[in-house]
A and B are shown apart, each in its own frame.
Chain A
Amino acid sequence: MSTSRSETIFRSDLAKIEVRTDRMFLWLLIAQWIGAVLVALIWSPRTWIASRWSIHQHVIAATVLGGLFAVYPILLILKQPGSRYTRHMVAIGQMLQSALLVHVSGGRIETHFHVFGSLALISFYRDWRVLITASVVVALDHLALAFWFPLAAFGVPVVSLWRPIEHAFWVVFEDIFLIMSCNYGIRDLRTIAERQVKVEDMAHTLQRTNETLEDKVRERTEELRGVNESLKAYAQQKEAINKELDDFTYIVSHDLKEPLRSIDAFSKFVVDDYGGQLSQEGKDMLSRVRANVQRAQQLIEDLLRVSRLSREANQLCDVSIRQLIEEEVKPRFEYIMKEKNVEIMLGKELPTLKADKTRLAEVFANLISNAIKYGNKPSCRIEIGCEQENGHYHFSVRDNGPGIEPKYFEKIFQIFQRLGRQEDHEGTGVGLTIVKKVVEMHNGRIWLESELGQGTTFHFTIQRV
């Protein structure tokens, strides 16, 4: 199939070259005809008989013979461009034009180069047979001149047969290279045609691949759209469930507060009113009841705090972080900072940004509180810094505490999860949960870096608004 296609392309290209060369000869034959007439007019315009003149025979020969040599090939080019017969006739006409030019120039040796030039032009057809036709015309011309007009071609009145053979040799000499050139040209044309077929095949394959790819992309896009829709639905569902859960948490927590308060109050009444009648063991048991009730109340209070974060949205306002820490966060730890020798270092680049001021204060308060609470060095050092990155602020809170094992990196953000025993450190384990929620409400994220004995750095981002 490909061979047939390349053959078709080769034939088509060759036909174009043949027609193009025919056109070139059309203009060349006309130009040579006019040129021969002009040369004759310039070199020998008139012939004289005493004082009377007439048009010189050379002018007549150039006009009549030149036209005769050119007109038939010209007609063939116009009527049948690209045909084999046409190019053979063109070759004959062109070589006759060479003979005419030599004749009207008075046999100048320089004009013989027209013969060699013509052969080169004829080789444009890339058809070695046409070169043979042209060369035969040259050979016959020289043979005829040697026989009838030896002076014209050889400059002597009588020549041997070897002279035209010698002249023909030089034509054959040129023909050898021109024929080689023709064959190379044909071979190149075939190669080009074969390459074109390969390129077309590759383009076709590429097009099919593209179409397949486009289909696949379309299919995947549809799939992704479906997945996206599912995810949206899932997110909406999750949001609804979360809301229901928050509502449930809020209601349950709120409703639990009252019975706990009653238990605590009645426990207190029992201790106050009947304490004297109770044994020491009874008093201790009531004291434990009250402590657990108070802890349950604290847990419920913390649950409500977390739940409130989702339920209540505050307005964003401009918040200077430095001012926030200095004026609203630090005062909360004034006493303990002195007691535990705590130093809070603020970075130079702390920005002013749009945020929920109250909740952002909670974030810093919780992180500072944890650092102080778990600090195990004689002096506790806390560094707070910030860098502006693409579209968000990147805060870091570093302490010189005991550090956290990597296995707790995720767990510590879960509600009521805490490090160490409850007796060692007060609190319910809700602080970092609140921090995470506040950060996420500001379209940020929180993570930490820590090494045991080397301290901990909490990182969180806040989206720029």
Chain B
Amino acid sequence: MERMAWNRPIVGMIWLAVCLAGAYAAMNYDFKPGRLAAPLASWPADLSGLDSAMQLERPQKLTVIAFLHPRCACSNATVKQLVKTLEVHPVPEIIVSVYTPLDAADKAAWEQSDSVKRVLEKLPAARVIADRDGVLASRFGAFTSGTLLVYDSKGEEIFRGGITDRRGGEEDNTGLRQFAQAISKEVRVQTEMSPVFGCLLVAGGSS
């Protein structure tokens, strides 16, 4: 008969407890969404101080604006979800705001990342804007990569949030379904903003 040292189960339980605590912490991080500002009452009026390349007119037609950090691993999931949905429900105006550091020596590498290339490959009509230091994202209250905004033809915001269920998640989720409804029916169906999972576009947001 095998004899067990009295302290072995205690050591095992401690080990298991530490493992579970670590796992919980890791999962918690994965499912903790980034910071998201409240919906804007109207189109941001103060875009005058920005470069001409970042100037955006109040939309006259259904418009989707996607804010992406080109080096965030989670951006790929957002782009895949976005492309997949837009192939089913096309919209007339797609704007992709790509975070680019103001002092970046290799701006082209930032602006033409894999996620941006994927958007342009699948959605050639999309307009890509280099967002210098995340100023544009800041004006629109989109602090986290993967934030999508949808404006109707009157320039009213009808969707704000993410379309992935977690960092890098590509499954079906509430945010994705609300986004699809917003662009297909041009109405606001969100009762609350869907969470966004990704890297921060503006320093000071929660990661």
Option from B2, B72, B167 in Cβ contact (under 8 Å) with A83: B2
B-facing residues in A110-166 (Cβ within 8 Å) = 145, 148-149, 151-152, 155-157
Residues of A contacting B24 in the complex (Cβ-Cβ under 8 angstroms): 148
* A64 adjacent to chain B (CB < 8 Å): yes
Would B71 and A46 count as touching, CB distance under 8 A? yes
Shortest distance from the beta carbon of B141 to any chain A beta carbon, whole Å: 16
- Which of A26-34, A95-103, A213-221, A387-395 sits within the interface? A95-103
- Which of A53-61, A338-346, A362-370, A432-440 sits within the interface? A53-61
Would A85 and B23 count as touching, CB distance under 8 A? no
Residues of B contacting A44 in the complex (Cβ-Cβ under 8 angstroms): 73-74, 167-168
Would B101 and A107 count as touching, CB distance under 8 A? no
Which residue from chain A places its CB closest to the CB of B12 in the assembled complex? A89
Option from A50, A52, A68, A157 in Cβ contact (under 8 Å) with B173: A157
How many residues belonging to B are interface residues under a CB distance threshold of 8 Å?
49
Which residue from chain B places its CB closest to the CB of A45 in the assembled complex? B73
* A205 adjacent to chain B (CB < 8 Å): no
Known contacts A50-B201, A72-B12, A152-B27, A107 near B73 by CB under 8 Å: no
B-binding residues in A (CB < 8 A): 43-53, 56-58, 61, 64-65, 68-69, 72, 83-85, 89, 92, 96, 99-100, 103, 106-107, 145, 148-149, 151-152, 155-157
| Total of A-B residue pairs, C-beta within 8 Å | 115
Residues of A contacting B134 in the complex (Cβ-Cβ under 8 angstroms): 50
Residues of A contacting B173 in the complex (Cβ-Cβ under 8 angstroms): 151, 155-157
Would B12 and A69 count as touching, CB distance under 8 A? no
Option from A51, A84, A89, A155 in Cβ contact (under 8 Å) with B171: A155
Residues of A contacting B31 in the complex (Cβ-Cβ under 8 angstroms): 149, 151-152
Would B202 and A50 count as touching, CB distance under 8 A? yes
Option from B16, B104, B167, B171 in Cβ contact (under 8 Å) with A92: B16
Shortest distance from the beta carbon of B11 to any chain A beta carbon, whole Å: 8
Option from A53, A89, A99, A149 in Cβ contact (under 8 Å) with B71: A53
Would B168 and A65 count as touching, CB distance under 8 A? no
Which residue from chain B places its CB closest to the CB of A105 in the assembled complex? B168
Would A49 and B203 count as touching, CB distance under 8 A? yes
* B200 adjacent to chain A (CB < 8 Å): yes
Would A49 and B23 count as touching, CB distance under 8 A? no
